[in-house]
Amino acid sequence: MRLIYFSHPEVVIDPAVPVPDWSLTAPGRARLAPLVALGWPGDGVRIVASPERKAQETAAALGRPFVTDPETGEIDRSSTGYLPAAEHERQADLLFAHPQDSANGWERAVDAQARMVAALARHGAGGDLLFVGHGAVGTLLWCHVSGRPIARAEDQPRGGCVWMAEGDQGGWRPLHPWRPVEALD
C-alpha cells in the first residue's frame, strides 16, 4: 500500500477567524491546479481529509471523492488561538523539542501523533491512501512511519507539501520526505 500525506497550501491568515476556519488563498488554490491536470493522486487512491476548512478545500479541489475524519485535525492550539508568525514558530519549536509536554496549552506532540497513528490504523486497509491535512500532524505521522524521533528538522519546508511511504501496519518504508507539490510527477 502506498501512503501519501498532503499538507494544505497557503491560507488566508485572519486573527479574527478561528484557525480551523481559515480558507486557502488564491495562490494556494492555484498550486492545486497542476495536480488536478495530472489526475493526481490517481485512480483508486482513497482520500481522507481533516475537518478543518483549509484541508476540506484542498481535498475538494482534487475533484475526487473523500471522507472526513474528525481525528485528523491539526495540533489543538485553541489555548492560544492565533499567534503572530514569529510567536507561532517559537511555539512550534517547543512542540517538537518537548513532545511529551504541552507548549502553553497546545496539544502534546505525542498525543497528536497517537491520534494520527490511530487514523492510519482505521483507514490503512484497502489500498493506497492519501491524507489531506496539516504540517505538524503530517510531520508527526511521518516520524512514526519513517521510524524517526519527533523533531522539527522533519517538518515541512512550507505548506502544500507531500511525503510518501509504502508498506502496511506491519512496517513502513519511506519513499520520500516532504517535498513541494510542484516537485511531484
Strand-pair category, 161-168 with 46-49: unpaired
pLDDT value, residue 118? 98
Residue 164 lies in a domain: yes
pLDDT value, residue 75? 98
Residue 100 lies in a domain: yes
Residue 93 lies in a domain: yes
pLDDT value, residue 169? 86
pLDDT beneath 70: ranges in the chain: 185
Residues paired with residue 133 on neighbouring β-strands, in sequence order: 7
Mean pLDDT of all residues belonging to the chain: 97
Q: Which domain holds residue 19?
A: 7-183
All three cell numbers of 85: 508568525
Residue 88 lies in a domain: yes
pLDDT in tens, 4-13: 999 999 999 9
Residue 69 lies in a domain: yes
Cβ neighbors of 78 (< 8 A, separation 6 or more) are 105
Stated pTM of the model: 0.97
- What CATH number is attached to the domain comprising 162? 3.40.50.1240
Residue 68 lies in a domain: yes
Residue 1 lies in a domain: no
Residue 89 lies in a domain: yes
pLDDT value, residue 184? 86
* Residue 18 backbone phi and psi in degrees, to 5: -55, 140
Domain count, the chain: 1
pLDDT in tens, 52-95: 999 999 999 999 999 999 999 999 999 999 999 999 999 999 99
